[in-house]
């Protein structure tokens, strides 16, 4: 992997990750951009004990531009984008409309490929490995920033999720605190340790799923993917490395080498759930590509429980059946009590049925 760091016209950092050491990345961003200004602030909710990011400047962010005006495609003659080069493998840059800034954290955009008409599932294993290496590098780099306590690498796909840019991309959030969801996991981890005389909750959870087997979706030598026993979403898969590590930087080479094949197969199975298999071409499919959220849950960088936390990826879709979405209505949105229409065992069986030939 070759890494090249540069700056955009308004001072934001841009990093190219290339598969091979080719020509230099020396294209200059000549757009007349003003320096990025934001009104981001973090407010504490005294009732729930969590935090809310207030970011009013995001109201003006780019919204569903036509494909020939995509800001994530490479620049071309007569039109400059967020990527000055005319091609790239993977590119990461500071978000122009960040939810978190400065002492309140950092937000980055990850472009998985320069091809606008592709999705992550269309990448080759070599390309997917490069994205994994980029996620890992950004986790390591952001861990050194004084305003970052936890890093979340994630992808939103599909207009149903709220995606406003069609180019295959994800985001990286560097939070200034451990997120509420992680805090819940850490509390459960501590309670389990005390109740079992020191056993690790993550280890026991994965061992239970592997022993039961009914919710296992896919297993490799170094990874296990399963639908959790108490899945919140209609189709939800958790992916764990066999060797527990706190974050992406702890993965060994064997796990890194196997990851692309496992993850690409999971994404392709999601795309087969509700429609025909094939490349990401919405106009040719009977059902639009499966909308999903996929994200890496990593340990906070400080705290006594860091080494007890287990890195894992959570992948889920809000589509519950062909043509129907799972909406978060009164119980879910108002009281955080989820009601799942698809039994986890049924979801796992279906995901095994749509395996690649």
Find tokens 């930087």 and name the residue: 249
| Coil, helix or strand at residue 199 | coil
Query: Cβ atoms within 10 A of the Cβ of 118, count?
Result: 17
| Coil, helix or strand at residue 121 | helix
Helices (H), ranges, 175-330:
180-195, 201-212, 253-272
Q: Is 73 annotated as a binding residue?
A: yes
Q: Is 107 annotated as a binding residue?
A: no
Please give the Cα distance from 194 to 136 (Å, whole number): 32
Q: Which helix (H) or strand (E) holds 87?
A: none
Among the options 44, 64, 87, 169, which is catalytic? 169
Please give the Cα distance from 116 to 145 (Å, whole number): 32
Q: Is 44 annotated as a binding residue?
A: no
Q: Is 167 annotated as a binding residue?
A: yes
Question: How many DSSP H helices and E strands does the chain contain?
Answer: 6, 15
CA atoms within 13 A on the CB side of 23: 7
Is 64 one of the catalytic residues?
Answer: no
Q: Which helix (H) or strand (E) holds 346?
A: helix 344-353
Are residues 89 and 23 in contact, defined by beta-carbon separation less than 8 angstroms?
no
Residues annotated as catalytic (active site), given as ranges: 169
Binding-site residues from annotation: 70, 73, 116, 167
Binding-site residues from annotation for Zn(2+): 70, 73, 116, 167
């Amino acid at each position: 992997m070759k890494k090249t760091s540069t700056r955009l016209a308004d001072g934001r950092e841009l990093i190219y990750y290339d598969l091979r050491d080719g020509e230099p990345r020396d294209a200059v961003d000549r757009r007349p951009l003003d320096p990025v200004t934001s009104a981001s602030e973090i407010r504490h909710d005294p009732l729930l004990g969590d935090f809310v990011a207030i970011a009013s400047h995001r109201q003006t962010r780019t919204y569903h531009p036509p494909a020939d005006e995509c800001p994530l495609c490479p620049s071309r003659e007569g039109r400059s984008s967020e990527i000055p080069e005319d091609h790239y493998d993977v590119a990461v840059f500071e978000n122009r409309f960040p939810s978190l800034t400065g002492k309140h954290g950092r937000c980055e955009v990850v472009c998985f490929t320069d091809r606008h008409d592709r999705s992550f599932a269309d990448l080759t294993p070599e390309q997917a490995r490069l994205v994994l290496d980029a996620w890992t590098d950004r986790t390591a780099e952001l861990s050194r920033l004084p305003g970052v306590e936890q890093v979340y690498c994630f992808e939103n796909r599909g207009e149903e999720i709220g995606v406003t840019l069609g180019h295959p991309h994800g985001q990286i959030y560097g939070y200034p605190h451990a997120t509420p969801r992680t805090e819940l996991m850490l509390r459960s981890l501590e309670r389990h340790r005390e109740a079992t005389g020191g056993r690790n909750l993550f280890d026991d959870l994965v061992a239970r799923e592997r022993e039961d087997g009914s919710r296992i979706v896919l297993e490799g030598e170094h990874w296990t993917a399963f639908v959790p026993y108490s899945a919140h979403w209609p189709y939800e898969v958790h992916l764990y490395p066999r060797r527990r590590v706190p974050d992406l930087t702890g993965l060994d080479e064997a796990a890194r080498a196997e990851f692309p094949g496992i993850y690409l197969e999971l994404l392709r199975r999601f795309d087969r759930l509700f429609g025909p298999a094939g490349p990401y071409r919405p106009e040719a499919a009977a059902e639009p590509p499966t909308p999903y959220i996929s994200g890496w849950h990593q340990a906070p960088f400080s705290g006594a429980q860091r080494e007890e936390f287990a890195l894992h990826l959570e992948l889920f879709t809000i589509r519950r059946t062909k043509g129907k979405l799972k909406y978060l209505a009164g119980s879910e949105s108002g009281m955080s009590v989820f009601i799942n229409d698809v039994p986890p065992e049924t979801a796992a069986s279906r995901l095994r049925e749509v395996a690649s030939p």
